[in-house]
Amino acid sequence: MDQRTPVRRTARAASLALLVLMTTTGCTGGVGGTPGAAGLRDPYFPRAGNGGYDVTHYDLALDADPAAGRLRGTATITARATQDLSAFNLDLAGLTVGSATVEGRPAAVNRAGHELTLRPDAEVESRLRKGRTFRTVVHYSGSPQTLTDPDRSKEGWLRTADGSVALGEPVGAMAWFPGNNHPSDKATYDIAVTVPKGLTAVSNGELTSRRTSGDTATYHWHVAEPMASYLATVAIGRFDTKTSTTPDGIKVFTAAERTVAAQSARILARVPEVVAWEAERFGPYPFSAAGAIIDRSGDAGYALETQNRPFFPGPPGAGLLVHEMAHQWFGNSVTPKSWRDMWLNEGFATYAEWLWEDDQDGNPVQKRFDAAFDDDDNWAFPPADPPTAADISQAPVYGRGAMVIHRIRQAVGDDKRFFALVRGWTKAHRHGNASTADFTAYVEKTTGKDLTELWNTWLYGRSRPASKG
Q: What is the pTM of this model?
A: 0.93
Tens digits of per-residue pLDDT, 331-375? 999 999 999 999 999 999 999 999 999 999 999 999 999 999 999
- Mean of the per-residue pLDDT values for the chain? 93
Q: CA-CA distance, 76 to 465, in Å (whole number)?
A: 52
CA quadruple 39, 45, 48, 52: dihedral sign? negative
Q: CA-CA distance, 76 to 134, in Å (whole number)?
A: 10
Q: CA-CA distance, 180 to 138, in Å (whole number)?
A: 13
End-to-end CA distance of the chain: 29
Tens digits of per-residue pLDDT, 100-149? 999 999 999 999 999 999 999 998 988 899 999 999 999 999 999 999 98
Tens digits of per-residue pLDDT, 180-211? 999 999 999 999 999 999 999 999 999 999 99
Q: Which of 234, 241, 138, 250 is closest to 191 using CA atoms?
A: 234
Q: Which helix (H) or strand (E) holds 322?
A: helix 318-326
CB 8 within 8 A of CB 152: no
Q: CA-CA distance, 210 to 219, in Å (whole number)?
A: 5
